[in-house]
Amino acid sequence: MARAVSTRRKITMTIIGWSIGLLIFFPVMWTILTSFKSELDAIATPPKWFFFNWTLENYQTVHARSDYFRFMMNSVYLAVGSTALGLLFAIPAAWAMAFSPTKRTKDILLWMLSTKMLPAVGVLIPIYLMFRNWGLLDSHVGLIVVLFLINLPIMVWMLYTYFKEIPGEILEAARMDGASLTKEIVYVLTPMSVPGIASTVLLCIILAWNEAFWTLNLTTSNAAPLTAFIASYSSPQGNFYAKLSAASTLAIAPILILGWFSQKQLVRGLTFGAVK
Amino acid sequence: MGQITLDKVSKSFGSTDVIHAVDLEIEDGEFVVFVGPSGCGKSTLLRLIAGLEDVTSGRIMIDGTDATGLAPAKRRLSMVFQSYALYPHMSVRQNIAFPLKMAGESKDSIERKVADAARTLNLADYLDRKPRQLSGGQRQRVAIGRAIVREPAAFLFDEPLSNLDAALRVNMRLEISELHQHLKTTMIYVTHDQVEAMTMADKIVVLNAGRIEQIGSPLDLYRNPANRFVAGFIGSPKMNFVEGDAARGQGGETIGVRPEHLDISTTDGAWKGTVGVSEHLGSDTFLHVHVDGQPTPITARTGGEFTLSHGDTVYLTPKAGKVHKFDGSGLAVR
């Protein structure tokens, strides 16, 4: 039933909504603005908002000094590679848990999620040593595996909740109709869960793209993604905020654009099953 | 062919026994209805035949070959589900064609068979629609279409009409019966609705708590129920049960009389009582009569024009030869 909402209430809620939105977006906006300032304007007090000498100088410097494209391609490899590897494991896992659960399925799901509660730094040294011994430091393969393992619990959870919504009778009908397990997955389950798989993929790409702890600790140059690119502009150079902002803007731009275009899909994926 | 034999089929989920050593013979071309209250195991029994559940022990034979371990698709059975279970991302045409596609049939043959099925089921105008654009009855027909194109040895229906409204249910009941007469294929139909069972079945299997209570033709079960459970389950309104002296006088621990087998009089009869609620259906009237010494009211069926109202005194007399007698354990005494 529709609820009567007064105009005043609507206005208040709109203002609150926009305020929260802007508050969350403010750091990103400030970074983007700073990236167009001169170093002097960037540290001016009181801060300059829109009236300063807009310049592309920072971008030119950043471009001249480091190979943005190589870092970006590394980010793409890591994000896409870890997500693709994740799907390969998460779809069958979620499938088994959703359609053929055992008494322990809930425990396994919780246990998988509990690994996300572990502070990553707690296992940094063992993993670093393993990587060193196996010659995986600064390699794409090594990082893809780490990012894949980090995101796997989330992928399984998201796909599991999505698959749970698919009525089992439809899959049984496919079985009665003569579909083998592979055909059942290819012709019935996958087409029915395309939205769920798509939002899972998007979220995992974003998470892998933004992951900074492992990418910074396990790479130096060869496999270094955009997180390392940003980091290279921070401490050693002193407080060159404008250049740092330009580097950050370049690093977040691809994922920001991807997120903007897929926000509908993302919201649907994250809230799936919450409302019928 | 579609002859199905169940040989001591049992099913347990963990430590719970759901089906207890069921033996059953289904002849080719028969329309068999599994009926029983919810939780009696009728759907589980159907799913065991379909192969969607594995039997715990016992054998399932289809046309003389042991199908106990066969995958569902290899049993040559088609199933129509309660929820229709249509593939939502496929058109009606693709839904009906799906089993043929899985069987690897040629495009021409698929097209011909889909067209045939669509004609039989009046779906020709809807072939390019998606299931969500169809009404409940049309969806049910698509589900049936998907089942008939495979030309299976037998059809399995799992409460196919329970999601439809009352009027549509009556129509679809007739359509399924006509389909059976037209195809002459074995059909196994699960329902909790004894009216569906009575009107559609060649043979009714009454189940209760995982056991078969009785197997027989609808009229057989109506006339000669084997026990109190079947007597109470088959027939609408329910059979009246009378205990105590009135029953012992007739030679049973309990006697049962159907509402339509009671003579009603305002002057004299076997049991005296007062009218409680009377339900007028137009064609019939159901009187709920409080008989002295009986804990629950007795239902009597009479003509539509019958006029007696709340509180009036009536006499009920069971018709000769229409009294069912049961012993202490509920078995019929013949």
Please report residues of B whose CB lies closer than 8 A to that of A192: 87-89
CB of A136 closer than 8 Å to CB of A217: no
Sorted by sequence, the CB contacts under 8 Å of residue A108 that are 6+ apart come out as A97
Q: How many CB pairs lie under 8 A apart between chains A and B?
A: 56
If asked whether residues B165 and B265 sit together in one domain, one would say no
Q: Which of A99, A176, A183 to mutate to test the interface with B (most CBs of B within 10 A)?
A: A176
Closest CA to A193 of A166, A213, A158, A220: A166
Give the pLDDT score at A270: 60
Q: Tokens at residue A74, please?
A: 């590394």
B 68-97: CB under 8 A from A: 71-73, 77-79, 81-83, 85-89
For residue B77, the chain A residues in CB contact (below 8 A) are 176
- Is B191 found in the same domain as B56? yes
Query: Checking DSSP bridges between strand B324-326 and strand B332-333, what pairing results, if any?
Result: antiparallel
Q: Is residue B137 part of a domain?
A: yes
Query: Taking 50 as the threshold, does the pLDDT of residue A273 lie above it?
Result: no
Q: What is the mean pLDDT of chain B?
A: 90
Measured between beta carbons, the chain A residues lying within 8 angstroms of B81 are 169, 172-173
In this structure, the answer to whether residues B16 and B130 fall within a common structural domain is: yes
Q: Is residue B232 part of a domain?
A: no
| pLDDT, tens only, B196-231 | 999 999 999 999 999 999 999 999 999 999 999 999
Give the end of a domain, one of B183, B201, B226.
Answer: B226
Express each pLDDT in B32-82 by its tens digit.
999 999 889 999 999 999 999 999 999 999 999 999 999 998 899 999 998
| Contact across the interface for B89 and A192, Cβ inside 8 Å | yes
Residues B222, B273 within the same domain = no
Structural Rg of chain A based on CA atoms: 23
Instruction: Please answer yes or no on whether A176 and B86 come within 8 Å at the CB atom.
Output: no
Residues B113 and B35 grouped into a single domain: yes
Boundary (domain end) residue, out of B199, B226, B253: B226
Do B59 and B198 lie in one domain? The reply is yes
* 3-state DSSP assignment of residue A59: helix
Three-state DSSP class for B333? strand
Give the residue on A whose Cα is nearest the Cα of B156.
A176
Q: Could you please report the per-residue DSSP string of A167-229?
A: -HHHHHHHHHTT--HHHIIIIIIHHHTHHHHHHHHHHHHHHHHH--HHHHHH-SSTT--HHHH
B60 vs B66: CA distance, rounded Å: 6
Q: Do B146 and A173 touch (CB under 8 A)?
A: yes
Residues B154, B241 within the same domain: no
CB atoms within 10 A of CB B314: 22
> Could you give the number of structural domains in chain B?
2
Question: Where a domain ends, among B226, B245, B268?
Answer: B226
Contacts with B71 from chain A: Cβ below 8 Å: 175
What is the CATH number for B256?
2.40.50.140
> Residue B87 is nearest to which of A170, A172, A178, comparing CB atoms?
A170
Does the ipTM surpass 0.85?
A: no
CB contact set of B68 (below 8 Å; sequence gap of 6+):
B55, B58, B59, B60
Q: HEC states along A17-34?
A: HHHHHHHHHHHHHHHHHH
Here the tokens at position B274 are 């007062």
Give residue B192's domain range: 4-226
Question: pLDDT confidence of A274, banded at 50, 70, 90?
Answer: very low
Residues B165 and B64 in one domain: yes
pLDDT in tens, A138-152: 888 988 998 999 899
Q: Do residue B83 and residue A167 have CB atoms under 8 angstroms apart?
A: yes
Residue A40 in this model has a pLDDT that exceeds 90: no
Closest Cβ opposite residue B102 in set A167, A177, A191: A177
Burial call A213-241: b when 16+ CB within 10 Å, e when fewer = ebbebbbeeebbbbbbbbbbbeeeeeebb
Q: Any idea what the CATH number is for the domain that residue B112 is in?
A: 3.40.50.300
Q: Examine residue B262 and state whether it is found in any structural domain, yes or no.
A: yes
Question: What average pLDDT does the segment B250-258 reach?
Answer: 87
Please give the domain boundaries of chain A with CATH numbers for all domains: 66-271 (1.10.3720.10)
Centre a 10 Å sphere on the Cβ of residue A243 and count the other Cβ atoms it contains: 22
